[in-house]
A and B are shown apart, each in its own frame.
Chain A
Amino acid sequence: MVHARRGSIGRYYDINGWLFVAPVLGLIGLFMIYPIVWSLWMSFQSGRGMMMKFAGFANIVRLWNDPVFIKALTNTMTYFVVQVPIMILLALILASILNNPRLVGRGLFRTAIFLPCVTSLVAYSVLFKGMFAPDGVVNSTLQAIGIISTPIPWLTNPFWAKVLVIIAITWRWTGYNMIFYLAALQNIDRSIYEVARIDGVPAWARFTHITIPLLKPVILFTTVISTIGTVQLFDEVYNLTEGRGGPSNATLTLSLYIYNLTFRFMPNFGYAATVSYVIVVLVALLAFFQFFAARERDK
């Protein structure tokens, strides 16, 4: 009786409700909030290994004077700017091709293109290393069909190493994005396409004027997800370059730099935490801009 009269505010004082959510709140606090707060506090400390001291903004100042950090940031942004649009467009095109009900064996193709993203990261990196070795299958094929005369130094040249990383992540994640588009395409009414076809709209125009606008929310979603994934890129680079981000730091990403600062170099957990907050800020800003760019302009 009393409970019923307390209204919505009253629910805050209901001890039973709090007891029900307490275990989850405790776990969230312990495994999410505590590490986040602690790493933020850590980013204001500096020192070697366990000998940490409060350093104020010294780590943030250090970022500006650190050529390796600048390099890692530039590389990460290069991956983002080059790879994400290629992958999104490729996934869109593949999805609309594989959405065609008259295509023979489309189930097989869908599976084949989706498979890379469920394979083991390490296995595929090792495979890529072998395939793109100086005398690997890629170089010998390209040589055999006469595209190149000398083997491309995929793993030992700064430019080609970057290209290789982009190829690797595109191979792995295009199918993942494609699945989202396929799912969304199933929800578009077939009659829209039929009308367009009757009106004589060519295939490319149907794609750009019907498919893309109707998929806009999904495109936004996949772009944000891919942005986060690319800005946090670690595994591919680590496995392809034996953890070095080489040659010449050309493939080094921010995440790999954090790893190096923590495990390979003189451990400086404070500075590593600062660099990881750079990723947090970067992801937040990029996601914000993407939502901003994709907002509904019409009433």
Chain B
Amino acid sequence: MDNLARAYLPRIAGLALASVSFLAVTAAEAKEITIWCWDPNFNVAIMKEAGARYTKTHPDVTFNVVDFAKTDVEQKLQTGLASGTADALPDIVLIEDYGAQKYLQSFPGAFAALSGTVDYSGFAPYKVDVMTVDGQVYGMPFDSGVTGLYYRKDYLEQAGFKPEDMQNLTWDRFIEIGQQVEEKTGKKMMGLDPNDAGLVRIIMQSAGQWYFDKDGKANVTGNPALKAALETVGKIMSANIYKPAAGWSDWVGTFTSGDVAAVVTGVWITGTVKAQPDQAGKWGVAPIPALSIDGATHASNLGGSSWYVLESSAEKAEAIDFLNEIYAKDIDFYQKILQDRGAVGSLLAARGGAAYEAADPFFGGEKVWQNFSDWLAKVPSVNYGIFTNEADTAVTAQLPALTQGTPVDDVLKAIDAEVSAQIQ
């Protein structure tokens, strides 16, 4: 027995050594890229599609797309960056455009600069601007939040309106229509979350203004677009043409349940609207209503986000190459995510493809993508600055006062006071 063991020992040892080194070699070659993002119907699904495409040509790279709620992604990212422990962070993270400058400026060196690798001239300039600090560009521009007015053709028809009546509305006309819709059908015109200033942002940007001016200084009391936006939201509230919603999922529920006749929001909601197959053919899309002030347009933007590579990532080179290969070059990829998810990318070259020409049966055969693409070109460019969250909170804090009849100028003063106290 003793002899037998002695005879086999070297072989066993050799086999063990061989398998260990085999594993080590595979481990060294296989790279896993961890990605944090939110929204399983949109960003997560799109990133999985992008990963699958890259893995086809680079079988050694695998992807781990982690789905969190948006606030959780932001919180985990901010905690990880602040703690300085890179282990806790992913390789690629999704950041909403409003917050991009905040992260880039308050955590210098945390994100990898992609200028030099990525050809940014192919992207919509406003997307590149929000990720530029001191001439360096960080991040890979992703989706646009170009806005539209989604409306239920069936409800509006019952109230006596045709799709033509929904084109090029003013906000006052929109409210009139809303009142008639409620009279005739008993349905509210829209869902509104009084804790979310999204609608104010949409209306304000459609007239080319933001909470901050081009230099990043607060632009509140002397901002005609913000004033008009607040007046409009005030009118919507006092006309009571909205169904109140508490939080995002509640708000989504207002239109997925068929309780409201219209939704004014970013194009990324298309996937959610289309997730209700029983409502196929009942929806139409029109440009958003415009204000009656100088610089007013029917085009605006809500949200939109981009991908960022962490400087500390062990797979930094692969992550950058992946984003560059798929998001900056793969036109076919953009066609697919547009058709499947309603993602309007900001790579300009992707806007000419067949998918943009296609008529969508869900929207009764309208060429909605062509429309969104036209509106995208008309979105007024503004400087989101670094304090949009703070200003947003100040606006939502004052919305109830607005409905209780406080004059808009007083509301603006209160917002200004809160914003000035917060931005230091």
Contacts and interface: CB of A to CB of B under 8 A. Distances in A.
Co-assembled chains A and B: yes
Interface of A: 46, 48-51, 62, 65-68, 71, 129, 133-134, 153, 155-158, 241-244, 246-249, 260, 262-267, 269
Per DSSP, chain B at the interface is helix
Nearest to A159: B400
A156 B246 contact: yes
B244 A242 contact: no
20 contacts: A49-B82, A49-B107, A67-B418, A68-B418, A129-B246, A129-B247, A134-B243, A155-B247, A156-B193, A156-B246, A246-B195, A246-B397, A247-B396, A249-B393, A249-B396, A262-B82, A263-B75, A264-B71, A265-B387, A266-B423
Interface in B236-263: 243-248, 250
A162 to B, nearest CB: 12
A266 B106 contact: yes
B21 interface: no
B360 interface: no
Contacts of A66: 421-422
Nearest to A63: B421
A133 B250 contact: yes
A50 B417 contact: no
Given A49-B106, A133-B246, A263-B79, A246 B386 contact: no
Interface size class of B (residues with CB under 8 A): 35 or more
A138 to B, nearest CB: 13
B417 A67 contact: yes
Contacts of A129: 246-247
Interface string B352-374: 00000000000000000000000
Interface string B366-408: 0000000000000000000011011001001111110000000
Nearest to B243: A134
Interface string B293-337: 000000000000000000000000000000000000000000000
B399 A248 contact: yes
A223 to B, nearest CB: 32
Interface of B: 71, 74-75, 78-79, 81-82, 102-103, 105-108, 193-195, 243-248, 250, 386-387, 389-390, 393, 396-401, 414, 417-418, 421-424
A133 B417 CA distance: 33
Contacts of B81: 49-50
Nearest to A261: B422
B82 A246 contact: no
Per DSSP, chain A at the interface is loop
Given A67-B417, A247-B195, A266 B246 contact: no
A66 B414 CA distance: 12
A265 B390 contact: yes
A11 B160 CA distance: 93
B4 to A, nearest CB: 50
A60 to B, nearest CB: 14
B247 A62 contact: no
Nearest to A260: B393
Contacts of A260: 393
A266 B398 CA distance: 21
Contact of A48 (B79, B106, B401): B106
B345 to A, nearest CB: 28
Contacts of B387: 265-266
Contacts of B389: 264-266
Given A67-B417, A265-B422, A266-B387, A244 B107 contact: no
B421 A68 contact: yes
Contacts of B82: 49-50, 262, 267, 269
Contacts of B414: 67
Contacts of A246: 194-195, 396-397
A263 B78 contact: yes
B420 to A, nearest CB: 9
The 7 residue pairs across chains A and B that have the minimum distance between CB atoms:
A49-B106, A155-B246, A246-B195, A48-B106, A156-B244, A263-B75, A242-B247
Nearest to A264: B389
A46 to B, nearest CB: 8
A153 B421 CA distance: 30
A152 to B, nearest CB: 11
A267 B78 contact: yes
Given A246-B397, A247-B195, 13 more contacts: A46-B424, A48-B386, A49-B106, A62-B424, A68-B422, A129-B247, A241-B195, A242-B246, A260-B393, A265-B390, A265-B393, A266-B386, A267-B82
Nearest to A240: B246
Given A156-B194, A248-B397, A263 B74 contact: yes
Contact of A50 (B74, B106, B244, B246): B106
B195 A266 contact: no
Contacts of B396: 244, 246-249
Contact of B393 (A46, A49, A244, A267): A244
